[in-house]
Amino acid sequence: GDSVIQMQGQVTLSENDFLFINCTYSTTGYPTLFWYVQYSGEGPQLLLQVTTANNKGSSRGFEATYDKGTTSFHLQKTSVQEIDSAVYYCAMRDYNQGKLIFGQGTKLSIKP
C-alpha cells in the first residue's frame, strides 16, 4: 500500500543553521505532497504543498522540493530561528483517494 517514510525523528540546530528534512514515498497513483507543522500544544497545520515534480513550493522562508525519480521530497530553510521549533510532518495524498498519509514526524529543536 501507499506509504511515507520520514527517518529523522529529531533534529537539533542552532539559530541561523541550515535545515534539511527528507522523506520518501511509495504509491502506485499520482501523489500530491505536503509539509505540515505542529507547534507545541496545537494541532498540525499546513506549511507547504508541492504538486509538480521538480517544482518548488515556499512559505515562511521554508522551501520544499520533490524528485519523482527518487520518490523523495525535502523541506529546507536557509537560516532557522527559535520560533521554528516544532514537529514537521511530510504527507502524501494519492489522486484517487480522499485520505492523507503522514510520515513519522521530525521534531526540530533550536538552541538560542
Partner 1 sequence: EAAVTQSPRNKVTVTGGNVTLSCRQTNSHNYMYWYRQDTGHGLRLIHYSYGAGNLQIGDVPDGYKATRTTQEDFFLLLELASPSQTSLYFCASSDGTGRKQNTLYFGAGTRLSVL
List interacting residues with partner 1 (CB under 8 A): 6, 9, 32, 34, 36, 41-46, 49, 89, 93, 98-105
- CB 70 to partner 1: min, Å: 21
- Give the C-alpha separation, 111 to 92, whole Å: 30
- CB 19 to partner 1: min, Å: 18
- CB 4 to partner 1: min, Å: 9
Distance between terminal CA atoms of the chain? 41
- How many other C-beta atoms can be found within 10 angstroms of the C-beta atom of residue 19? 20
Write down the residue that cell numbers 514526524 correspond to. Answer: 105
Return the number of the residue (6 or 27) whose C-beta is nearest partner 1.
6
